[in-house]
Amino acid sequence: MNSPPVSVVIPTFNRRQSLAKVISPLLDDPTTGEIVVVIDGAVDDTFEFLTDWSSSEPRIRAIYQENSGEALARRRGINEARFDLVLLIDDDVEAGPGLVTGHARLHSGSDHLVVLGYMPVILSSRRKAGQAATILYAQEYEKICKLYEKDHTEIFRHLWGGNMSIRRADALRVGGENEVRLDYHADLRFGLQCETAGLTAVFDRSLVSRHWHERSLRKFAVDAGRSGIARAEIMWEYPDLAPTLNPLLDKSSRGKLVARYLSPPWIRPLASPIAMALSYWSGRFKAWRLEIALARALRRIETAHAFRKFSKIVARRSTVS
């Protein structure tokens, strides 16, 4: 029995070079009814590339919008989708064979469901210096997947999207056009909104994709700061999540010490560059465990620093409002 067609939505920003390997496997799946690519203010030639491709492959639809962030780009794609079921794919995730059909199968006969597929990080077979950020990401993602399998009710509160499907009608009930922009953890907020809307989440490892993840230590530190800002924003919206979101309440005693004493504004300008430099040189000398430990410390410093700073801004904003 053939599955009904699915709208695949891909928000993207300046990733023209990776889009071919993201889109091509999706086009090979007979259940793919369309691929809606929302170009979120990209300044490369993504729009031209996709427009040219769509002339020979009409299932590809390129939509350009001014840069508004991942959440609004995703919402724009959902709004534009033509079919009942929407598969949300990140622009650095490569679908495995039959991924779209597999998502459609799990939704068959079920309502108000969010299906999460598996997207392991691609790691090189030979360890090299400078991979600390990607290795950390891969390790933590696998831990999250084990949590999903242990307790499916935790999925929304630890949502890592990128390979996720939802009925369009349900997606349109989640969130809103006027929500505060997040430049990080947009997936987490989406999961919390889905939980509030009364949806049910399932995780299925058979829905496999591959995640192309690359970060320099400098970009890793920037992302950590963005994470701190987003944590403060989400914690204001969902205060019961403070034990999970507040980096100053790290479950690890070592992590808590690093976050508390190396992130204040008078020490962070010294502590952060030192952690970054030591992690870099540890990798160069193949001290792999030390490289990872220092990268983790760098992230804690930057996340906690940004969280401290932005929490005060959020508090002032809430007082004014």
Q: Give the pLDDT of residue 145.
A: 98
Confidence of residue 26 (pLDDT cuts 50, 70, 90): very high
pLDDT at 113 over 80: yes
Cα angle vertex 220, ends 214, 225, to 5°? 145
Q: Encode pLDDT of 216-234 as tens digits.
A: 999 999 999 999 999 999 9
Q: Encode pLDDT of 267-280 as tens digits.
A: 999 999 999 999 99
Average pLDDT value for the chain: 94
Residue 104 lies in a domain: yes
24, 119: one domain: yes
What is the side-by-side strand order in the sheet with 60-65?
A: 60-65, 32-40, 6-12, 85-89, 163-167, 113-118, 200-211, 93-95
Q: Encode pLDDT of 71-109 as tens digits.
A: 999 999 999 999 999 999 999 999 999 999 999 999 998
14, 144: one domain: yes
Q: Encode pLDDT of 200-211 as tens digits.
A: 999 999 999 999
Residue 1 lies in a domain: no
Q: Point out the least confidently predicted range of 242-251, 279-288, 309-318.
A: 309-318
The fraction of the chain above a pLDDT of 90, given in percent, is: 85
281, 166: one domain: no
Residue 40: domain span: 6-211
Locus of tokens 């997040």:
182
85, 177: one domain: yes
206, 253: one domain: no
Q: Give the pLDDT of residue 318.
A: 65
pTM over 0.75: yes
Residue 101 lies in a domain: yes
187, 267: one domain: no
Q: Give the pLDDT of residue 65.
A: 94
Rounded to an integer, what distance in angstroms lies between the CA atom of residue 229 and that of residue 302?
10
Rounded to an integer, what distance in angstroms lies between the CA atom of residue 129 and that of residue 304?
26
Question: Is the four-CA dihedral 36, 40, 46, 48 of positive or negative sign?
Answer: positive
pLDDT at 321 over 60: no
279, 190: one domain: no
pLDDT at 66 over 90: yes
Interacting residues of 78 by C-beta distance below 8 A, sequence separation 6+: 9, 86, 168, 171, 172
Q: Domains in the chain: how many in total? A: 2
Backbone angles phi, psi at 40, to 5 degrees: -90, 70
